[in-house]
Amino acid sequence: MASSLIVGGQWPDAEFNRLFQRLAEDFNRARPVVAIPPEILVLIFMSLRLEVPPYRKRSRTELGWVRVTHVCRRWREVAISSAMLWTNITDLGDNWTGIFVERARDALLCVKWHLAPSGKFYTADILAKYLSRMRVLDITGAHGFILPFVDRLHIAAPRLEALTLSIYEQDYDSRVYRIPTVFGPMLNGYTQSLRYLYLQNIFIEWDALSFPNLVFLHLGHMTPKWKLKNGEEPFISSLSALFTALRKMVKLQELRICGAIHVPPDEEECLEPISLPQLTDLCLHQSMVECIRILRSMSFKPGANLSIVCIDETAPVWETDEAVHTLLDITMKHCSATDILNPAPTPRLNCVLLQSSPALAQLPLIIADRSRLQRADLVHLSFPQDDSDDLVGQLKAILPMLPHDHLSALEVGNRLGLTVDQWTEAFEFADVHWPHLDAILIESDPTCAFLEALLKLDVSAIPRLHTLVIDAEPQGLAGRALDTLAGSVLLARYHGVPLQRIVLRMSDGRSDLGIWKNTLATIVPEFEYQSKAGPGMGVDGRHSPYFSEGDEDGEDGDEDEDSEGNGEDEEGEYYGLG
């Protein structure tokens, strides 16, 4: 019988490989790092999974922490036998997605797949089959990729805690793919574990749902509705159907409705109001009429944050439009009710009036509660964009409706350059009377037109005005405005306005800084100079994201100047809204 080894010759490759592997295993077993107990190794791998997750880069898969399975046999056995290591699934392609699902066995899955393209239907089918095993499903992607999940949303998912399905607006096309509609009650109509639900461009039947433990709900469709071009209108929820579901969501804390409902003209009469006692944040992106009907039919506690964006395609007639007046009345009553509950003995509401763009006459109304430890908008109300540049008309609509008896601070911008006469016209129309106003911040007003018009008012209009904060950046202040402002301040103080303090925020590189500082310091008892505006530089020294946060060129700007997504224009010419 011939020997498997050839004396004096070479070993066969297979025999050599087996011998080498045994030697390597014996050597590895003797190393302390390989002898770590399995439970400790799993903890190390779990930490590594957080630090170095696997991901796809174009057509290549970077394995990240999964490479520990290629170090040695023991590490591989420990990693593969630990199901919890394989429960977080991202875009790793068809092969690795299947491997992760198989190795996770019966453990709950957490699927987070963003930027999913149209072509990977096989992967979508794999994941969608395991909906009943998922704890988190968070997928944002193309129309075609999302459809397999939509098709299975009618089945029960008893362990699902968070569900996000979002179709890109730019990739939504019901002329190529069918309308993403859930036929029948979503998740079998009842899921007690569900706490977070985010649906964008997904159509469902709402009146048959019951999610009693839901705390977050976002419903969104493309706006304006004419973008839905292929018969989606019948699938848009009615307000009554949505309210039927909301009545069962007694723990709801945050609600966002963005182009997701249709309100027939006669629905309000038969709509039964609902109460959401735990609600802290309400966001509406609907038409003015739809926003009004939602707010009139929904009760929530004072102090809830309201963000309302009216998406009508035409601007209202500001001074006479009943919907404008009604919407302002509802939101300002909410502000007043909140301030009444403040423990402070004096009003604590702060109003912001600043055009959202230096080129548009769009004036969001922002009311904040100064008594809160962290700045949050009590009301952020944006009306439809007005292409006529009628900012005075908007001011005439808004100023009379402000909660006058509860305002303590005002932050104003004059980006469109309204004149003294225009501000005076708006003040006189509104019959301004702010009995508790103690501080004003003004920016983007090089000629100080707003302050000149304000200080001409009778002392009874601003009887407690104590502080002026003048933000000169980025445009600076006109030299001719200095004497006018100084005269207005002295005259107002003479007539009894208790103006004691002026804060000037101006770049220390401006040539006229000295004369402004010297003049303002002589006309009030308290003067303060600040070289630039930055975080924590609101009217009362707290963070106010709506106003300037750096110099004009951005050379001295903070590293966070864009971190708030604050809407400044591309060249940085204006300091923006947060």
Which of 159, 161, 164, 157 has the alpha carbon at shortest distance from 185?
Answer: 157
- What is the secondary structure of 369-416 as a DSSP string? ETTSSS--EEEEEEPPP-TT--HHHHHHHHGGGS-GGGEEEEEEE-TT
Residue 537 lies in a domain: yes
How are beta strands 305-310 and 281-286 bridged, if at all?
A: parallel
Residues 6+ apart with CB under 8 A from 254: 215, 216, 217, 279, 280, 281, 282, 283
DSSP state of 360: B
Q: What is the pLDDT of residues 273-315, one digit of tens each?
A: 899 999 999 999 999 999 999 999 999 989 899 999 998 888 8
Q: What is the pLDDT of residues 444-460, one digit of tens each?
A: 899 999 999 999 999 99
What pLDDT sits at residue 415? Answer: 86
Q: Which range has the worst mean pLDDT, 176-185, 223-232, 306-315, 505-514? A: 223-232
Q: Map residue 264 onto helix, strand or coil.
A: coil
Residue 8 has pLDDT above 60, yes or no: no
- As a whole number of angstroms, the distance between CA 173 and CA 228 comes to 9
What pLDDT sits at residue 554? Answer: 40
Mean pLDDT taken over the chain: 82
Q: Which range has the worst mean pLDDT, 338-347, 525-534, 542-551, 554-563? A: 554-563
What pLDDT sits at residue 572? Answer: 27
What pLDDT sits at residue 234? Answer: 75
What pLDDT sits at residue 20? Answer: 67
What pLDDT sits at residue 567? Answer: 34
- As a whole number of angstroms, the distance between CA 380 and CA 90 comes to 36
Domain count, the chain: 1
Residue 227 lies in a domain: no
Cα-Cα-Cα-Cα dihedral of 229, 234, 236, 242, to 10°? 180
Residue 564 has pLDDT above 70, yes or no: no
For range 471-476, the mean pLDDT: 85
What pLDDT sits at residue 484? Answer: 94
Q: Map residue 190 onto helix, strand or coil.
A: strand
Q: How far is CA 163 from the centre of its chain?
A: 18
Higher pLDDT, 213 or 565: 213
Lookup result for tokens 């303002």 = 520
Q: What is the pLDDT of residues 388-443, one digit of tens each?
A: 678 898 999 999 999 989 999 999 988 888 999 999 999 999 999 999 999 999 98
Higher pLDDT, 86 or 6: 86
Residues 6+ apart with CB under 8 A from 570: none
Residue 268 has pLDDT above 70, yes or no: no
What pLDDT sits at residue 522? Answer: 95
Q: How confident is the model at residue 324 (pLDDT cuts 50, 70, 90)?
A: very high
Q: How confident is the model at residue 221 (pLDDT cuts 50, 70, 90)?
A: confident
What pLDDT sits at residue 175? Answer: 73
Residues 6+ apart with CB under 8 A from 455: 488, 489, 491, 492, 497
- As a whole number of angstroms, the distance between CA 223 and CA 244 comes to 24
Q: Map residue 316 onto helix, strand or coil.
A: coil
Q: Specify the pTM.
A: 0.82
Residue 100 lies in a domain: no
- As a whole number of angstroms, the distance between CA 244 and CA 5 comes to 81
- Residue 305, Cβ neighbours under 10 Å: how many? 18
Of 197-201, 207-211, 557-561, the range with the highest mean pLDDT is: 197-201
Q: What is the pLDDT of residues 9-44, one digit of tens each?
A: 555 677 767 776 777 666 666 667 777 888 999 999
Residues 6+ apart with CB under 8 A from 55: 61, 62, 64, 90, 91, 92
- As a whole number of angstroms, the distance between CA 278 and CA 547 comes to 32
Residue 504 lies in a domain: yes
- As a whole number of angstroms, the distance between CA 283 and CA 164 comes to 18
Residue 188 has pLDDT above 90, yes or no: no
Amino acid identity at 251: K
Q: Are 169 and 222 in contact (CB under 8 A)?
A: yes
- What is the secondary structure of 103-170 as a DSSP string? HHTTSPEEEEEEEE-TT-HHHHHHHHTTGGGEEEEEEEE-HHHHHHHHHTTTS--TT--EEEEEE-GG
Burial 130-152 (b: 16+ CB within 10 A, else e): bbebbbbbbbbbbbbbbbbbbbb
Integer CA distances (angstroms), 503 to 206, 250, 343, 439, in order: 54, 47, 28, 11
Higher pLDDT, 269 or 526: 526
Burial 445-458 (b: 16+ CB within 10 A, else e): bebbbbbbbbbbbe
Q: Treating both helix axes as pointing N-terminal to C-terminal, what angle do 143-151 and 121-128 enclose, rounded to 10 degrees?
A: 20
Q: Are 145 and 160 in contact (CB under 8 A)?
A: no
Of 76-85, 336-345, 346-355, the range with the highest mean pLDDT is: 76-85
Q: Percent of the chain having pLDDT more than 90?
A: 39
Q: How confident is the model at residue 469 (pLDDT cuts 50, 70, 90)?
A: very high
Higher pLDDT, 235 or 267: 235
Q: How confident is the model at residue 552 (pLDDT cuts 50, 70, 90)?
A: very low
Q: Which domain holds residue 463?
A: 347-542
Strand partners, 257: 219, 284
Peptide bond into 273 cis (omega under 30): no
What pLDDT sits at residue 569? Answer: 33
For range 233-241, the mean pLDDT: 82
What pLDDT sits at residue 258? Answer: 92
Of 141-150, 322-331, 543-552, the range with the highest mean pLDDT is: 322-331
Token pair belonging to 136: 């988190």
- As a whole number of angstroms, the distance between CA 315 and CA 197 comes to 33
How are beta strands 365-369 and 377-382 bridged, if at all?
A: antiparallel
Q: What is the pLDDT of residues 144-167, one digit of tens each?
A: 888 888 888 888 888 999 999 998
What pLDDT sits at residue 391? Answer: 86
CATH code, domain with 464: 3.80.10
Residue 542 has pLDDT above 80, yes or no: no
Of 199-208, 340-349, 439-448, 468-477, the range with the highest mean pLDDT is: 439-448
Q: Phi-psi region for residue 433, left (φ > 0), alpha (ψ -120 to 50) or beta?
A: beta
Residue 89 lies in a domain: no
